[in-house]
């Protein structure tokens, strides 16, 4: 069965420091990978996605992620975080065969001033 694991439930980091949010998945078939951000009391907004091609994907707000097929990972990174990046980040996997998403449990990014 397919699954998505976000290894950290919370990641505290100082403002302007770099951050990496980890995501691993398990699947025996081709997948598409997504990162979504959820600000407090709001819906989800797509940060970036990997469908095919270059394994380094750039998204909005300065975030990027790298697809590593051998390690089945899709870690999210940002070189310098801002207080406005405080939010919950969800990694999701979509199987090639359908449009349902399998979600990770989420990682809360806490920016310390």
Partner 1 sequence: GAVVSQHPSWVICKSGTSVKIECRSLDFQATTMFWYRQFPKQSLMLMATSNEGSKATYEQGVEKDKFLINHASLTLSTLTVTSAHPEDSSFYICSARGKAGEDDTGELFFGEGSRLTVL
Q: Which two tokens stand for residue 53?
A: 């091609």
Is position 3 an interface residue for partner 1 (rule: CB under 8 A)?
A: no
Contact pattern from residue 26 through residue 55 relative to partner 1, giving x for each residue in contact according to CB under 8 A and a dash for the rest: ------x---x----xxxxxx--x-x----
- Residues 24 and 14: their CA atoms lie apart, in Å, by 24
The secondary structure of 18-40, three-state, reads CEEECCEEECCCCEEEEEEEECC
Q: How far is the CB of 17 from partner 1 (least distance, A)?
A: 24
Under rule CB under 8 A, residue 61 binds partner 1: no
Residue closer to partner 1, measured from CB, 15 or 59 = 59
């Amino acid at each position: 069965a397919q699954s998505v694991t976000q290894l950290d439930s919370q990641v505290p980091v100082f403002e302007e420091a770099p951050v990496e949010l980890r995501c691993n998945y398990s699947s025996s078939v081709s997948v598409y990978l997504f990162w979504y951000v959820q600000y407090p009391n709001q819906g989800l907004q797509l940060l970036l996605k990997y469908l095919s091609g270059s394994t380094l994907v750039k998204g909005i707000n300065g975030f990027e992620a790298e697809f590593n097929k051998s390690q089945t990972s899709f870690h999210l990174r940002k070189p310098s975080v801002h207080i406005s990046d405080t939010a919950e980040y969800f990694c999701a996997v979509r199987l090639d065969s359908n449009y349902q998403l399998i979600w990770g449990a989420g990682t809360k990014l806490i920016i310390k001033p």
